[in-house]
A and B are shown apart, each in its own frame.
Chain A
Amino acid sequence: MKKLSILMAIALIPATLAIGCGGGGEEAAAPTQQADSAPAAAPQQAVTGGGAIAGNAKYVNGDPDAAIGMDADPVCASLHPGEVHTEKVVADDNGNLANVFVYVKSGLEGKSYPAPSSTHTLDQIGCQYKPHVSGMQVGQKLVIRNSDPTLHNVHAMPSVNKEFNQGQPFQGMELEHSFDQAEVMVPFKCDVHPWMSSFMAVLDHPFFGVSSEEGSFGIENLPAGTYVLEAWHEEFGTQTVEVTVADGETAQVSFDFSPGAVASAG
């Protein structure tokens, strides 16, 4: 087999030469072999003071998240002795729904928030993207890392920003990128491992959050005012609610994606 692949490789050389140039499709930054950079947690708040929003996302239906098989890549399969799930619908027994992206959709017009200096990290670990759903700011530095002993391709499929597809054949590889337009959501996928997907929101402000395993999310340091808040879920779509925030207070919001339920603020 090895002999055959070497033979085939040799056979390919003139093909490569004959066709000549590569070119194109190089929008993404080149992968770099940097040492571990500290992964950024929540985005740095560009402002202080103001009020806050706290809430909870629910999905009460009981459908368990579907299990997936990773046999298409034996290395991925070996990283998961137990069951692995799609991460599409992550809800606990009480219906608390994780991976709901909540952000201020309107009400901030005329205000500008510079990109934070912190980096946002998308990791490929266990042949899954971590985080599965996340947000970052326009112009912020995104670091995409391959923590797996197998190869991945990082394929971002935005509709407003520029699409890119970059290979990361070795463990520890990192590539840097930044988006120059606000967009909710930028889907990421790995074409090597069809089950791998991630959704990243790119916003021009820092007022967003992602619901935790307990279904809770929070947005802080929001100037007093009335806002339209949108909650996004990859399977259940979006819900919006209007919310008024007062200085020094925390407005409560809840989103219920259960069949027939609606969002509420109060």
Chain B
Amino acid sequence: MSPRHHPSADILASYATGTLDPGFGLVVGVHVGSCAKCRAQVSAFEATSGAALNDLPQAQLASGALAQTLARLDQIRFRPVAPDTRPLLERLPLEPKRWVAPGVWVAAVNTPRSAEDRVYVLSVGKSALTARHEHSGAEFCVVLKGAYRDELGVFAAGDFAFADSDVNHQPVVEGDQDCICLFATEGRLKPHGLIGRLAFELADV
């Protein structure tokens, strides 16, 4: 099933041009990987970028850059690398899971933490309540497994959700499966309620 909730065009444009912060790029990349429509749009932005590349001023290269590069061609041995076909959840460099409430765990994605951005996986079981929270900055989310529902509808595997300071929502798990999502957030979340406080303060994601 193809995703029904997509990133906005400006998010896809930033992704395509390489200007999106990498944690956010990771979240968008998961969606794009499972959405043919957004992949096509990213391709259009890449073509725009390719055309723009031709118009960029030419930077001064180091003297002997060409000779140096040709020498590097000789040194490098190319060997094929087998694609990593494990599910995304297994490929993500996750910190150990922390259970923060019955049925709820959170694991930071192992990135050197910047002062403000956080990248983490949150799993919420069927009967658990999620935190109502507000955002002080942008939050990108992609559903990896299961589904949740909030004011905007049902979000299932591959669906992308964007929230910013205007949003104050309380998602609930939809269906019988645990719902596992990958998040990148900018700024500090202001969680309300017990699980929110546990997840974002005790678990230190």
Do A and B share a complex? no
Q: B residues bordering A, Cβ < 8 Å?
A: none
